[in-house]
């Protein structure tokens, strides 16, 4: 957490890593991100806000078969994109 009590970009990235590794459920990631997305008065840098909004809703279903709107490949691609943007 940073001085304001908000998660750092490292912590946000860690949620993606844990999700991809199967150590964090999609529901857990969504609930964690929802808290921060909905917080009044929070100020985020663009990259953190982008990443949080990807995590928020990560558990959305894509139909009746139990599939997710965003599959595991998409989640891995988002993690790679987050890392690419951080490296700039």
Q: What are the tens digits of pLDDT across the range 29-65?
A: 999 999 999 887 788 899 999 999 999 999 999 877 7
Q: CA 84: distance to chain centroid?
A: 15
Q: Rounded CA gap, 55 and 75, in Å?
A: 9
Over the range 18-52, which residues count as b (16 or more CB within 10 Å of their CB) and which as e?
A: ebeeeebebebbbebbeebeeeeeeebeebbeebb
End-to-end Cα separation, the chain, in angstroms? 23
pLDDT tens digit sequence for 7-30: 999 999 999 999 999 999 999 999
């Amino acid at each position: 957490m940073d001085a304001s009590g908000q998660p750092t970009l490292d912590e946000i990235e860690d949620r993606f890593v844990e999700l991809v590794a199967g150590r964090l459920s999609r529901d857990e990631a969504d609930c964690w991100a929802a808290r921060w997305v909905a917080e009044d008065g929070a100020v985020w840098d663009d990259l953190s806000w982008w990443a949080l909004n990807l995590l928020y809703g990560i558990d959305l279903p894509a139909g009746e078969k139990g599939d997710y709107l965003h599959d595991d490949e998409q989640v891995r691609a988002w993690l790679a994109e987050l890392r690419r943007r951080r490296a700039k």
